[in-house]
Amino acid sequence: QVQLVQSGAEVKKPGASVKVSCKASGYTFTSYDINWVRQATGQGLEWMGWMNPNSGNTGYAQKFQGRVTMTRNTSISTAYMELSSLRSEDTAVYYCATRHYYGSGSDAFDIWGQGTMVTVSS
């Protein structure tokens, strides 16, 4: 079945970097953009950016520009999100999701990974 499986929980110190992986299966990896969304405990969803697995093109939310890098390895159908200069406010669950474009101004994040908890603590 179509699914995204993410890497396990991480604990990092302030100032460090974290790299989360998202492995796709059940569909052609290069067909849909991968987006990353995070959610701090008790808070709402926050869109971080997108990556086109075919071209490698990316687009990042202004808030994360300069700190986030989204990459992929097409040979293993895996996307990565690396966030640097971590601070306590980055403690959150990070999700990857495919974005399906349906045309006429309509798109949606239709498949989601299970989420990866990243804890930033000294």
What is the binding site for another protein (CB under 8 A)? 35, 37, 44-47, 50, 59, 61, 95, 97, 99, 102, 104-110, 112-115
3-class SS string, 24-80: EECCCHHHCEEEEEEECCCCCCEEEEEECCCCCCEEECHHHCCCEEEEEEHHHCEEE
User: Which residues does residue 49 pair with via DSSP β-bridges, in sequence order?
Assistant: 36, 60
Instruction: Kindly state the smallest distance separating residue 44's Cβ from another protein, in Å.
Output: 4
Q: Residue 1 in contact with residue 27, Cβ under 8 Å?
A: no
CB of 95 vs another protein, minimal distance in Å = 6
Q: Between 10 and 46, whose beta carbon lies closer to another protein?
A: 46
Full 3-state SS string of 78-116: EEEEEECCCCHHHCEEEEEEEEEEEECCEEEEEEECCCE
Residue whose CB is less far from another protein, 29 or 94: 94
- The nearest distance, CB 111 to another protein, in angstroms, is 8
- Smaller CB separation from another protein, 83 or 113: 113
Instruction: Find the shortest distance in angstroms from Cβ 84 to another protein.
Output: 20
Closer CB to another protein, residue 44 or residue 122?
44
